[in-house]
Amino acid sequence: EWNNKLSREMGLPLRLRRLLEILKINTVGDLVQNSEQDLLKLKFFGRKYLRYVKESLAKLGFSLKEVEE
């Protein structure tokens, strides 16, 4: 599942999937290499999209990268 393409089955809205494609985030593996802060820094990526991403990854047993302090 790690290298699976981000798909409709993940429940991500079409606009979000297209935005991630533009940002070269094409697989679950690409996505989990980012932290919440990384994603929120991206243009057009807000808290609503972050919630979708976190919920979809959790269903697959994954999460975003943890930020080390």
Are 2 and 29 spatial neighbours (Cβ–Cβ below 8 Å)?
yes
Q: What is the pLDDT of residue 9?
A: 75
Instruction: Give the DSSP letter of residue 5.
Output: B
| 64 vs 39: CA distance, rounded Å | 10
Q: Of 63, 58, 51, 40, which Cα lies nearest the Cα of 13?
A: 51
Reported as a single tens digit per residue, the pLDDT across 42-69 is 989 999 999 999 999 999 899 999 987 6
pLDDT tens-digit profile of 8-29? 778 889 999 999 999 999 899 9
Tokens 């798909």 correspond to 7
Q: How far is CA 34 from CA 2, 16, in A?
A: 14, 15
* Mean of pLDDT over the chain: 89
